[in-house]
Structure 1
């Protein structure tokens, strides 16, 4: 049998020399094994788990149909040069995760609406042009950049509204009460917690869609507006959520109300927001 052994004739130094050689051999084998293991690369733990550390995959897809005229091309350009697509994509990775994915089709003949059979949200170019025209008519936005920003804010709210309907159906979320109020809550919670300028978008865009603002406007005959136009009660609920999210910051949002109404809203809105936020985060974080 091969191996290391020592006779009485071997000196102590020799014994230690053999042991030292053996130790170096074993240590070398260990280092070689460890190096091979380390070179495995993608199979190593990353952040406490095995496998590749990949970014979440977006669960919405954007489809742009070919514009048929210059107005439609302008609508397409407004979308593509805004931050809307990046915002919707980011939220689809972290908040509303669809499986299978949902298509958002720009340039459709009908809409805005969510088509369950085709699993797609449809947004006509004409609708975007109507938003721009309505916003221009108000005279509240003197520069083209401001008008485009207001248009994309209103369009973002529209998209989140239809995504809300799709998400409720996808997750079979129970609706106890008005479906439109439930979706309004979904939209405002996302705007306030996940989107830059979300509070401003919530207040301004919902004002654009209020019945008073839409009277005799080009948007008033749009099917989306006819189905979803906001009553003053719904608008006050939106403002209440915004106030309840940060009473110190939004203390002036009820200035137009009487003192009694203002005090009542201020007492209630913090609790309304807290309940709404907790309810939606139960679904959006799972």
Structure 2
């Protein structure tokens, strides 16, 4: 079980609350239609409640948001319906990737790694909802911004946040292995390349605790002082998101 830290690094400073109170996120589980769907639902349920709690506490939004598990499309955020769509099939595909990679050799089971990747993906899609609902100004690619936000939430909110984020990074690396050659569509895509997402996540993980995570930075990167860049990048991004959350904060509604 992933334990949320009692003292969070990323905090929402209650300085100037909006007059609008935030709506709490709701979850909706569609019926599972296969054994694979049932297993996917079990994996989701093992982490979804604490992720929802994290979102409502740290990143409250102005509009009601529904996370629909078992949807036909996604994972994605639909701003028109204020929904995050999260298919069971996606969870099954992630689980099969980790199984196929013999991920248990890392010390984590494929199910545990899938739980971690789901947490990052949920945080990523919720980041889109937070930006849209609270009208947060984003400079650069929004996909990169919410990747960073998702990684920081995991790193700073969970005791083993670096391990959770590392599993998510490894999923990017596995997805990158599917690419045999690049064409124009890869570079036009709103997402950065999977390899770039992998290394950007590793950089934040290292920067959050260089001593603990020193093994994930190669000697070649150390020679060009990439390690010091990652420390600076982690601090800079954390401070930037703290400012944005304070600037665009809304008062959470009390839970019933």
* Residues 1-286 of structure 1 aligned to structure 2 (within 5 Å): 59-80=24-45, 82=46, 84-141=47-104, 146-210=109-173, 213-215=176-178, 228=191, 230-255=193-218, 257-261=220-224, 264-285=225-246, 286=249
Deviation at 1:118, TM superposition (A): 0.9
In structure 1, runs of 5+ residues without a counterpart are: 1-55, 218-225
SS of equivalent residue, structure 1 residue 209: helix
Deviation at 1:252, TM superposition (A): 2.5
In structure 2, runs of 5+ residues without a counterpart are: 1-20, 181-188, 250-256
Once superposed, which parts of structure 1, at least 4 consecutive aligned residues long, lie more than 6 Å away? Answer: none
Contact 1:189 1:277 in 2 (8 A): yes
Give the TM-score taking structure 2 as reference length. 0.76
Contact 1:188 1:238 in 2 (8 A): yes
- Pairwise CA RMSD: 2.6
Deviation per CA, 1:50-108: give whole Å up to 9, x if none: xxxxxx9982111001112222122112222x1x1232122123211022221110111
State the number of aligned residues: 218
Contact 2:71 2:86 in 1 (8 A): yes
Larger RCO (alpha carbons 8 Å, 6+ apart): 2
CA distance 1:60–1:266, shift in 2 (3 Å):
same
SS of equivalent residue, structure 2 residue 66: strand
CA distance 1:228–1:256, shift in 2 (3 Å):
farther
